[in-house]
């Protein structure tokens, strides 16, 4: 017999994630098993399995479950993949990436969020996860290249993608949200042979921008 929390998790999968065309059985299994409530701030614990974003303070948000599902499905993380996550947040996406078998290097600019995410991840013994406090867009990481790069906040233009793209291995996948409110595009870039890149627009959304992300130039008239 399912507990109330298990029932809410099941309903999240069946009523939110799967109807949003998330059909990858590995993604559904990881999201269906991971205790999302462990990653939600105490004040919003009752919304852990709701179809909504959850405030984390300072304008940042925990992504809605269906968005996480589409991101994970698009990135197609395989066991042993080297993963870079920009924006750890509470650590929920980090845990999902690790649950799919990724060796995750996650970077969070907010020291308090980073510390709390480390504690949550350590408590669940999720395997090969490193959470670093820092600005993920400041400079390339020395431990690249990466098979997967997941950017959990938005950027107003695609300019920062150039640096991230350089850190992808051949066949590597990059997820990012590009644009300005109220309409942004979630995109997947795949690094092909000879440096070519294939870009696919996955869906439209609107999520807060990464902190310190370069602002687009505004023309003065």
Reported as a single tens digit per residue, the pLDDT across 147-168 is 999 999 999 999 999 999 999 9
Phi first, then psi, for residue 170 (nearest 5°) are -65, 130
The band of 59, judged by pLDDT with boundaries at 50, 70 and 90, is confident
Q: What is the pLDDT of residue 219?
A: 52
Query: Cα 93 to chain center, whole Å?
Result: 5
Query: Cα 174 to chain center, whole Å?
Result: 11
Q: Which residues contact 16 (CB under 8 A, 6 or more apart)?
A: 51, 64, 65, 66, 69
Q: Give mean pLDDT, residues 5-31.
A: 97
pLDDT tops 60 at residue 100:
yes
Q: Which helix (H) or strand (E) holds 92?
A: helix 92-99
Q: What is the pLDDT of residue 173?
A: 98
pLDDT tops 60 at residue 92:
yes
Q: What is the pLDDT of residue 220?
A: 53
pLDDT tops 60 at residue 189:
yes
Q: What is the value of pTM for the model shown?
A: 0.94
Q: What is the pLDDT of residue 218?
A: 58
Q: What is the pLDDT of residue 221?
A: 54
At residue 63, the 3 state secondary structure works out as coil
Q: Give mean pLDDT, residues 25-54.
A: 96
∠ CA 111-113-116, nearest 5°, is 105
What is the edge-to-edge ordering of all strands in the sheet holding 82-86? 129-133, 103-108, 82-86, 146-155, 168-180, 183-191, 197-205
Q: What is the pLDDT of residue 214?
A: 75
Under CATH, which number does the domain 4-205 receive?
A: 3.40.50.150
On the question of a cis peptide bond just before residue 182, with omega within 30 degrees of 0, the verdict is: yes
Alpha carbon separation from 61 to 54, 116, 203 (Å, rounded): 5, 15, 18
Q: Which residues contact 18 (CB under 8 A, 6 or more apart)?
A: 28
By DSSP bridging, strand 197-205 and strand 183-191 are antiparallel
CB 61: neighbour CB atoms within 10 A?
16
């Amino acid at each position: 017999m399912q507990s109330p929390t298990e029932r809410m998790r099941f309903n999240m999968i069946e009523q939110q994630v799967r109807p949003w065309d998330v059909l990858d059985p590995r993604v559904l299994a990881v999201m269906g098993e991971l205790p999302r409530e462990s990653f939600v701030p105490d004040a919003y614990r009752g919304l852990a399995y709701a179809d909504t974003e959850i405030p984390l303070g300072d304008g940042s948000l925990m992504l809605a479950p269906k968005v996480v599902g589409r991101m994970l499905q698009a990135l197609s993380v395989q066991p042993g993949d080297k993963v870079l996550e920009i924006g750890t947040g509470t650590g929920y996406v980090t845990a999902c990436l690790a649950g799919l078998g990724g060796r995750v290097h996650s970077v969070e600019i907010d020291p308090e969020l980073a510390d709390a995410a480390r504690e949550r991840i350590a408590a669940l013994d999720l395997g090969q996860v490193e959470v670093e406090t820092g600005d993920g867009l400041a400079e390339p990481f020395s431990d690249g290249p990466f098979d997967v790069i997941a950017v959990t906040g938005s950027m107003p233009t695609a300019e920062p993608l150039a640096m991230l793209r350089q850190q992808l291995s051949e066949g590597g996948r990059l997820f990012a949200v590009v644009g300005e409110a109220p309409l942004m595009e979630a995109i997947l870039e795949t690094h092909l042979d000879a440096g070519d890149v294939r870009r696919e627009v996955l869906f439209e959304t609107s999520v807060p921008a990464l902190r310190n992300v370069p602002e687009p130039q505004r023309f003065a008239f």
